Amino acid sequence: MFRHKLWQIQKKSFVVFLTFVYLFGQRRIVAKHKRYSPNHFYMNKLNILLAILFLGFSSDSMAANGDSIFNMTYIHQLHITFPYSNFYDSLIWSHANDTYLSVDIDFNGQIYHQVGIKAKGNSSFNGPGQKKSFKLDINRFVSGQDMHGLKKINFNNSFKDPSFMREKLCNDFLIEHQLPAPRTTYCNVYMNNQLWGLYVVVEEVDDEFCERWFGNKDGNLFKGDPHGDLRWKGSSAQNLYEADYELKNNSSLNNWSDLINLIDIINNTPANTLEQTLESAFNTNNFLKQWAAMNLFSSLDSYLGSGHNYYVYHNILNNRFEWIAWDNNEAFGSFKQNLSTTQLKNLDMYYVSQPASNRPLIQQMLNSSYYHSLYDEAFCMLKQDFDNQYFDQRIDSIRQVIQASVYADPKKQYSNGKFDSSFQYDLILNGPGGITVFGLKNFVNNKQTAVTSQLLNNNIQCSPLLSNDWTPNDFNIYPQPFQDGFILENNRPLERIQIFDIMGRAIYEKQTSGVMNSITIGTAHWPSGIYLLQVNGKYVSKLSKQ
């Protein structure tokens, strides 16, 4: 994602450069011919106006697809018009037959004709009530048609979530920590002019998603469903894996050899060569952080627990697979995996579904001292923000936006009272003996206490990044985040510079003569992650290496 943003900045900078080259050239031409007539004055003004317009249109054109949907802070309005009155029965039929129906839609006043729609989901579909999750395929029947640059988009019904927030909070957390996950927002949906209720809108993981995150979209994209546990089943036939995964693109080629090779490496690489071999085929740093995040959220309808609900994308730029989170609607401990409420609130930081051999990727990494240590670092890094200071204001802000729509939702599965209580208190859904869902703020508070205790019991020190000994600073640090290095500037002398990694290990130190105000620090050989900068004996800034 940062590579994409960097590319946007580079394109904008290039446009600015070309524009000024052009204007400078125009001025040189005028000066050369000594013609300073009023006509040339107005031509120069026109050139500047054209340049401004050019820059404006270029900037708009470089916005990522879907930004105008997912970057908004208001609730969208979607009107779906079915060409028949018994549309609900047809929607149920579309799920049973995995077939799109053709409808017209009005999204925030913009009309789209012949859009594909079908009901979606497993547990969410089988839940009570008429409010089913669904997917829109904008170009299913009209080739090339898109909605704000998106071809498909998902509308989820907040099954088992009276707060309507679990999926959004989890996905937003991942994205804010530079981990690939779908963007999420909200929409009031009407079907044949009937208010059908408030839906959670979730970005589709497809070629547009891969292009935005990884800068390319031609590699194989696999979904780990329905049983994507990454266990080895041999190399004799591709069909041994086709029942457990879905190839979401490149269907004409239908070549699974890259996924089978990855599964082979995960399961059959000797321990003494695992690090080098796995790194060549898989972005382990990304996965370790995703794993730590799923543990913090006690999100067990994932590879940790149920063994599915993820994508892997073969990034053709570096020839490695990338891990992508998916379907986090049961985060905050809503998917039980046969664990008690106490076990879910105090989930072991090394939890893996039993038997562990059914999750070979996690098992292999826990058996490796190298990856075990890196997982501890990832856990420490994400744990910093998994607290009420981070979540409570986000919960309150989202609640303010969606509360009126939740109250007005005629088909929601839970009462307004349960919505109001879901932020603080544990609730039992569907009557006595039903499902317990945790109050969001309470869960975060309990989880923070539990993981702090676990880190202490496992003798894992996450300092100094968790230290309170921070000093406000007026340093200039750029670029931030960085890749191969960064520049540190300050008005006062830089006498002693130290940089620590997430576990508090010193990785850089420079003692100066006390007269330097600027220094360039090379970081090409540092692993990506979060670092702490200490200047003149004071912690002053966190650093982020891509």
Structural domain includes residue 532: yes
Question: How far apart are alpha carbons 148 and 63 in whole angstroms?
Answer: 10
Question: How far apart are alpha carbons 452 and 72 in whole angstroms?
Answer: 35
pTM of the model: 0.80
Structural domain includes residue 36: yes
Question: How far apart are alpha carbons 194 and 430 in whole angstroms?
Answer: 26
The number of distinct structural domains making up the chain is 2
**144: β partners:** none
Q: Which of 61, 76, 110 is a domain's end point?
A: 61
Q: Which of 13, 35, 61 is a domain's end point?
A: 61
Cα–Cα–Cα angle for 385, 389, 393, rounded to 5 degrees:
115
Structural domain includes residue 10: yes
Question: DSSP per residue over 119-158, as a string?
Answer: E--SHHHHSSSS---EEEETTSSSTT--BTTBSEEEEE--
Question: How far apart are alpha carbons 509 and 534 in whole angstroms?
Answer: 9
Structural domain includes residue 511: yes
Question: How far apart are alpha carbons 154 and 173 in whole angstroms?
Answer: 19
CATH number of the domain to which 519 belongs: 2.60.40.3080
**pLDDT tens by residue, the chain, 546 residues:** 444 444 444 444 444 444 444 444 444 433 443 333 334 333 344 443 333 333 333 333 446 799 999 988 899 999 999 999 999 999 999 999 999 999 999 999 999 999 999 999 888 898 888 999 999 999 999 999 999 999 999 999 999 999 999 999 999 999 999 899 999 999 999 999 999 999 999 999 999 999 999 999 999 999 999 999 999 999 999 999 999 999 999 999 999 999 999 999 999 999 999 999 999 999 999 999 999 999 999 999 999 999 999 999 999 999 999 999 999 999 999 999 999 999 999 999 999 999 989 999 999 999 999 999 999 989 988 998 899 999 999 999 999 999 999 999 999 999 999 999 999 999 998 765 678 999 999 999 999 999 999 999 999 987 555 554 556 666 788 888 888 999 988 777 778 888 988 777 788 988 876 666 788 999 988 888 778 888 877 777 888 887
Structural domain includes residue 421: no
Burial label for 186, CB within 10 Å (0-12, 13-18, 19+), is buried
| Residue 5 backbone phi and psi in degrees, to 5 | -65, -40
Residues in Cβ contact with 253 at an 8 Å cutoff, skipping those fewer than 6 apart: none
117, 91 Cβ separation under 8 angstroms: yes
Structural domain includes residue 491: yes
Phi and psi based region of residue 545 (left: phi greater than 0; alpha: psi -120 to 50; beta: remaining): beta
Residues in Cβ contact with 415 at an 8 Å cutoff, skipping those fewer than 6 apart: none
Burial label for 317, CB within 10 Å (0-12, 13-18, 19+), is exposed
Structural domain includes residue 25: yes
Q: Which of 61, 89, 110 is a domain's end point?
A: 61
Question: How far apart are alpha carbons 33 and 36 in whole angstroms?
Answer: 9
Domain housing 496: 476-545
